[in-house]
Amino acid sequence: MKSLSGYHGVVLDVDLSSGKINRKEIDPKDFRNFIGGRGLGIKLLWDALRKPGVDPLSPENPLLLMPGAFSGFPLPSASRTCVVTKSPITTPKKSKHKHASTITYSNMGGFFGPEIRFAGYDGIMVRGSADRPVYLFIDDDRVEIRKAQKFWGMGTDEFDRAFIDELGDRRIRSCYIGPAGENLVPYACIINTTARAAGRGGTGCVMGSKNLKAVAVRGSRQPDVAMHKRFLELLEESRKGFEGTPSTENWRRYGTGSALIWASDIGAQAVKNYREGTYIHADKIGGVAARRKIWQRDFACFVCPLACKKSGRAPLGPYAGIVHDGPEYETGTMLGANLLIDDMEGMMKAIWHGDDFGLDIISVGNVIGFLMEAYDKGLIDLDVLDGIDLKWGNVDAVIQMLHKIAHREGIGEKASKGVHYLAEEIGRESHKFAAHCKGHSLAAWNCHYRPTQALCYVTANRGACHLNGHSAEDQNSTALVDSTGVCLFAHRGYRENALADIMEAITTREWSSEEYSKAGERIYNLEKSFNFREGFRREDDVIADRFFEEPLTIGRRKGAVLDRGQFEEMMNAYYAERGWDSKTTQPSKDRLKALGLDFV
Amino acid sequence: MSEQEASFPKLTIRELFHPPLQDRRSFIKMMVIGGLTITVGGVVIPRLRFGVAHAESPQFSMILVDFNKCTGCRTCETVCGQYNHKAVVNGEQLLGLGNPYLSNIRVYSFNPDVDVPIVCVMCRDNPCIEACPVEEDEDGRRALYRDPKTLAIKNDPERCITCGACAEACRTQRVEAIVPNPKTNRPERMCTLCDGDPQCVKYCPYGALDHIVGGYIGGSHYGLPAEKIAKELIERWYGVKLGKGGARG
Ligand code: SF4
Ligand code: SF4
Ligand code: SF4
Ligand code: SF4
Per-residue pLDDT at B30 exceeds 80: no
Say what the pLDDT of residue A326 is: 82
Per-residue pLDDT at A113 exceeds 80: yes
Q: Is the peptide bond before B112 cis (omega within 30 degrees of 0)?
A: yes
Q: What is the largest CA-CA distance in chain A?
A: 68
Per-residue pLDDT at B17 exceeds 70: no
**Rounded Cα–Cα distance for residues B22 and B3 (Å):** 41
H/E segment holding residue A488 = none
Say what the pLDDT of residue B221 is: 67
Domains of chain A plus CATH, in order, are 10-218 (3.60.9.10)
Record the pTM. 0.92
Per-residue pLDDT at B204 exceeds 80: yes
What is the average per-residue pLDDT within B148-152? Answer: 90
Mutation to probe ligand 4, out of B78, B80, B102, B120 (largest number of atoms < 8 A from CB): B80
Of A118, A299, A86, the closest CA to residue A203 belongs to: A86
**Dihedral angle sign, alpha carbons of residues A565, A570, A571, A572:** positive
What is the average per-residue pLDDT within B140-166? Answer: 95
Q: Report the topology of domain B3-238.
A: Alpha-Beta Plaits (3.30.70)
Q: Please give the ipTM for the structure prediction.
A: 0.94
**Distance, in angstroms, between B86 CA and closest chain A CA?**
11
Are A296 and B237 a contacting pair at CB < 8 A?
Answer: yes
**Distance, in angstroms, between A404 CA and closest chain B CA?**
21
What is the average per-residue pLDDT within B77-101? Answer: 97
**Dihedral angle sign, alpha carbons of residues A337, A342, A346, A352:** positive
B181 C-alpha to ligand 1 centroid (Å): 24
What is the average per-residue pLDDT within A37-44? Answer: 98
Q: Which residues pair with A188 in a beta bridge?
A: A359
**Rounded Cα–Cα distance for residues B151 and A342 (Å):** 56
**Rounded Cα–Cα distance for residues B154 and B138 (Å):** 16
- Residues B109, B227: contact at Cβ < 8 Å? no
The phi, psi pair for A257, rounded to 5°, reads -60, -25
Of the given ranges (A317-331, A436-450, B198-212, B215-229), which has the lowest mean pLDDT?
B215-229
What is the average per-residue pLDDT within A60-89? Answer: 97
Per-residue pLDDT at B48 exceeds 70: no
The phi, psi pair for A96, rounded to 5°, reads -80, -10
**Rounded Cα–Cα distance for residues A110 and A190 (Å):** 12
Buried b or exposed e, range A351-365, using 16+ CB within 10 angstroms: bbbbbbbbbbbbbbb
Are A321 and B239 a contacting pair at CB < 8 A?
Answer: yes
Quick one: which ligand is closest to B165's CA? 3
Confidence of residue A120 (pLDDT cuts 50, 70, 90): very high
Confidence of residue B25 (pLDDT cuts 50, 70, 90): very low
Per-residue pLDDT at B8 exceeds 50: no
Say what the pLDDT of residue B239 is: 87
Rg over CA atoms, chain A: 22
In 10 A of CB A327, how many CB atoms? Answer: 31
**Rounded Cα–Cα distance for residues A297 and A291 (Å):** 9
Say what the pLDDT of residue B240 is: 80
Of A305, A306, A345, A304, the closest CA to residue A326 belongs to: A345
Average pLDDT, chain A: 94
CA A577, A579, A581, A587: dihedral to nearest 10 degrees? -140
Are A261 and B34 a contacting pair at CB < 8 A?
Answer: yes
Which of B22, B24, B33, B36 should one mutate to test binding to chain A, selecting the residue with the greatest count of A CBs within 10 A? Answer: B36
Q: What 3 state SS string does A2-20 have?
A: CCCCCCCCEEEEEECCCCE
Are A220 and B33 a contacting pair at CB < 8 A?
Answer: no
What is the average per-residue pLDDT within A516-523? Answer: 92
**Rounded Cα–Cα distance for residues A573 and A59 (Å):** 40
Terminus-to-terminus CA distance in chain A, angstroms? 24
The phi, psi pair for B51, rounded to 5°, reads -175, 160
In 10 A of CB A569, how many CB atoms? Answer: 12
**Rounded Cα–Cα distance for residues A222 and B133 (Å):** 36
- Residues A464, A457: contact at Cβ < 8 Å? yes
B153 C-alpha to ligand 3 centroid (Å): 12
Assess A463–B contact: CB distance below 8 Å, yes or no. no
User: Over the stretch A261-303, which tens digit does the pLDDT of each residue have?
Assistant: 889 889 999 999 999 999 999 999 888 888 888 988 999 999 9
Q: Which residues pair with A64 in a beta bridge?
A: A84, A125
Higher per-residue pLDDT: A341 or B216:
A341
